[in-house]
Structure 1
Amino acid sequence: MKNLITAALVSLAFAGTAAADNIYINNGVDYGGNNADTAAGNTTTGWKHSLALTYESNSVVQDLDNNGALSVGDTIVSSGGMIGSALLGNNSVTALKTAEFGGTGPSNNGYGANWAISFRFNDLMGTYDGTDFNYTSGNIDWFLLDSTNGFGTEVHLFTTTVTNHTYTSGNQVFSGNIGNFGTDTVNGVAAGDIFNIAYGNTSMSFEQYATQFVDTVRFRIDQNTDKPNVTGYDANKGEIYVSGKHDGSLEFAVPEPTTLAILGLGLLGFAGASRRKS
C-alpha cells in the first residue's frame, strides 16, 4: 500500500505542468494602475500570464584539475539578485505580463511606481558537462517592497526550490516547487495570500493551495544569459570567478481539478485493494 501511494503522489507532483496558469497579485492597496480590469477587486492586479525579470549573478567555479579552464566535472555555486549592494533596478521583476497583445491589458495596480517584487539566491549549484552547467539544486527567495513603508522593508513571499534544469545555447530553464511562505503581512494581506493562481473556475492563494493539497504550486523560469564574464582566477584555491547578466520570465502552474480528482479516486482504489488483501 505504501509503495502504491508513493507512486500516486509522484504522478501527482508532475501532472499538468505543460502550460502556465494565470495568476493575480493582491498587495492590499488600490494604487490605480492602467485601468480597472482587476482579477478580484481594486487591491489586486488583473490576470497575468507570467512575470518578466532581470538580474545579475556571480559564480564560483571549482576548477578541479587546476587547468584554469572549464573541464567536465567542474562544479559551480551561483548567487544573484538583491544581494549585498546590488541595485533593485538591475535585480527585480520588471513587468507583469499577459498573453494579450495590443491595448492596455489587465491592471498592474501601480506596479513599479508603488510596489515591486525582487529575489535573491546564494546556493544555486551545478556541474559542468563539457558544454554548459547542469544545475541540480538551489533556493530562490522572493520578496515584496511597498511604498507604504517607503520601499524600506522586505516582506518575504515564498521560496522557489529548483529540482529540474535544462539548457540550450544562451538559454537556461529552471523549474521546481514553491514553499516556505512568509509569515508577515503587506497592507493587511498575509504573505501567503498575495499571489493567487487560477484553479478551475475559481482561484486559490499559493499557500491555500499548498495547505489544501499534497502538491504545491510549481514554477518555471525561462531565462536568457549574456556571454559570461570571467572576472578572476585563484590558482591556489582552484577557483574561477564568473559574473553574468540575465533576463527571462517566471511562470506558475498547478494540476487541473479533474487531474486531482482522478488521482484521488486512484488513491481510494489503492486503499480498497489493500483492505481486501489484509
Structure 2
Amino acid sequence: MKNFKLASITAAALLFSSVAVASDMYIDLGTNSYDMGRGVGTPDANTRTAAFNEFGFSQLLATSIYDYSDGSIFGAFFDTNDIPTLTGLGLPASGTALDGVSNVNLVLPNCPAGQCDIDALSPLVPPLGSDNEGYLQTWDMQMVYTLNGTLTAAGGPQYTSGTIDIFFNDLNDDTNDRLILTFSVTGSDIMAANLNLYFDITYAEAGFLWIDNGSGTFVDASAGIASGNYARVVLDTNVNPPIPTNDQLLLVGTNAIRQATLDGSMTASVPEPASLTMLGLGLLGLAGVGRRQRKNKSNA
C-alpha cells in the first residue's frame, strides 16, 4: 500500500508539472510606427497587438532529407528550409524519382513570395483591419528551421532535436530585421497524417512576445529562459504520407529528398501557477512519505 501511495503522488507531480494549455498571446513592438503605416484598418495609440492564440502558416515549403547511403530512407533524416543548407545539398535539382518513372523537381523556398512566412495570428489576422499593429502590411515574421529525427517503418518520423528561428521582417526597412524567437525541439508524436512537434522557447527578444500564464496575467516569453523555466510551443501540422513513397523522392548525392507544402499552427503556453502549486504539493507528499518510511524503519 505504501508503494501505491508513493507511485500515485509521483504520477500526480509529473502530471501537473507537464500540463500545458494553449494560451492567449500578444506581441508588443515597442513602437506604434508600424501601426501608423498600415494601409488597411485604423491605427491606435498603443504598441501591441490584440490577443491571439495561434501562429498560423499555409503552403510552407518543407524539404525532408533522408540519408540514403545504405539504400534505405529509414534512419536519420532532417527537415529544413535553410537556403544555404539546401544549396549545399545540390538544390535546385530535378530528375526521375526512386520509382524510376515519376519526375521530381526540387526548388529553393521562395521566401519573398511567402513560402517562409507566418501568415496568420489567429484569429486576429486576417482580417487586416483588426488590431494587429500593421501585421502583413508593414511587418511580418519568417521562420528558418532545421529539425532532426529518425524515420522508422513502425512509428514514422520521430523528431529529437533542432530549432525553428523566427525573424522579424520589416517590410520597409531591412535594417530592422532580426531574430526574435527560437523554438528548440523537445519531442514529437504522430497520428495518421497529423504531426505534433513540441518545443521550448529558448530565446525570446525581451518584451516582444507575451503569453497568458493561465490566470489572466501575461508573462514575457523571455522571462524564464535564464532559469530554464521555458515557455512551450506545440506545432500542429500535416504530413501526408508520414513515410515518403518512392514517387516523391529524388536521389541527390547520397540523400533521398522530398518536398511538400504544409499548413499548420503553433500554440504557446507558460507553466500555470496552479500546475506549479500542485507540483510543489506532490513533492511535499513525496517528502512526507519518505519521512514516514524512515520512521517506520526506525521503529521496527
Q: TM-score band (shorter)?
A: 0.7 to 0.9
Is contact 1:13-1:215 (8 Å) kept?
no
Aligned to 2:251: 233
Q: Which moved more, 1:124-133 or 1:217-226?
A: 124-133
Is contact 1:64-1:74 (8 Å) kept?
no
CA shift at 1:141, angstroms? 1.4
| CA deviation profile, 1:39-95 (whole Å, cap 9, x unmatched) | xx711000001011142122221236426xx4xx43312212666763331111001
**Equivalents in 2 of 1:211, 1:268: separation in Å?**
26
In structure 2, relative to structure 1, the CA distance for the partners of 1:123 and 1:96 (3 Å cut) is closer
**Equivalents in 2 of 1:123, 1:224: separation in Å?**
15
Aligned to 2:149: 125
RCO comparison, higher one (Cα < 8 Å, 6+): 2
5+ unaligned residues in a row in structure 2: which ranges? 1-6, 86-107, 296-300
**Equivalents in 2 of 1:203, 1:246: separation in Å?**
30
Amino acid at match of 1:118: Q
CA shift at 1:273, angstroms? 7.7
Q: 2:174 aligns with which of 106, 126, 151?
A: 151
Is contact 1:81-1:92 (8 Å) kept?
no
In structure 2, relative to structure 1, the CA distance for the partners of 1:74 and 1:52 (3 Å cut) is same
**Equivalents in 1 of 2:145, 2:217: separation in Å?**
32
Aligned to 2:210: 196
**Equivalents in 1 of 2:184, 2:47: separation in Å?**
29
Aligned to 2:268: 252
Answer yes or no: is 1:79 the counterpart of 2:102: no
State the number of aligned residues. Answer: 253
CA shift at 1:198, angstroms? 0.8
Name the TM-score, length of structure 2 as normaliser.
0.69
Name the TM-score, length of structure 1 as normaliser.
0.74
Structure 1 residue matching 2:78: 3-state secondary structure = strand
Is contact 1:171-1:222 (8 Å) kept?
yes
Aligned to 2:135: 111
Say what the alpha-carbon RMSD is for the aligned residues. 3.7
In structure 2, relative to structure 1, the CA distance for the partners of 1:254 and 1:105 (3 Å cut) is farther
Report 1:27-176 matches (<5 A): 27-30=29-32, 31-32=34-35, 34-35=41-42, 42-54=46-58, 55-63=60-68, 65-66=70-71, 70=73, 73-80=74-81, 86-88=109-111, 89-98=114-123, 107-130=131-154, 132-147=156-171, 150-176=173-199
CA shift at 1:258, angstroms? 1.7
In structure 2, relative to structure 1, the CA distance for the partners of 1:82 and 1:232 (3 Å cut) is closer
Q: Which has the larger radius of gyration?
A: 2
Structure 1 residue matching 2:206: 3-state secondary structure = helix
5+ unaligned residues in a row in structure 1: which ranges? 182-190
Structure 1 residue matching 2:63: 3-state secondary structure = strand
Is contact 1:57-1:81 (8 Å) kept?
no
CA shift at 1:207, angstroms? 1.0
In structure 2, relative to structure 1, the CA distance for the partners of 1:82 and 1:224 (3 Å cut) is farther
Amino acid at match of 1:248: G
**Equivalents in 1 of 2:79, 2:171: separation in Å?**
30
Percent identity at matched positions?
24
